[in-house]
Copies of this chain bind each other. A is one copy, B any other.
Amino acid sequence: MDIKAIQRELQQFASERDWEQFHTPKNLATALVCEAAELAELFQWLTPEQSWSCMDSEKSAASVCDEIADIQIYLLRLADKLNVDIDKAVSEKIRINAEKYPVDKARGNAVKYSRRET
């Protein structure tokens, strides 16, 4: 994914519509939660097993892709506005997670590390 190119495209899109005024970090973060909730809503009453079938019907698959795109778009927009290097942030986070969840303690156990008892 060419992050910079998409960010430039999104910036032009917002700028042409005079939407930059709305794209504060606070608003973009709220927009992100709203889009993530629309994605979660698709799976809301399904069992985890049933949620695997979400790509089976064309309509449902389109909704899933649509919401994933919305989340990615707002995330790229926010990162652009705050000069956050997503690639670097992700690498850094994966490194931190590897320390927080060592294989031997984390195996088969998704309890949040801060709630882990040892």
Residues of chain A touching chain B, judged by Cβ–Cβ distance below 8 Å, are: 1, 3, 6, 9-10, 13, 16-19, 21-22, 24-27, 29-52, 54-55, 64-66, 68-73, 75-76, 78-79, 82-84, 86-87, 89-90, 92-94, 97-98, 101, 103, 106-112
Contact = CB atoms under 8 A, between A and B. Distances in A.
**Which among A22, A29, A103 has the highest number of chain B CB atoms within 10 Å?**
A29
Q: How many chain copies does the complex carry? A: 4
Given A30-B33, A30-B40, 16 more contacts: A1-B86, A1-B90, A10-B94, A13-B98, A17-B106, A24-B52, A30-B30, A30-B44, A33-B40, A36-B36, A64-B82, A64-B84, A68-B86, A69-B90, A72-B90, A76-B90
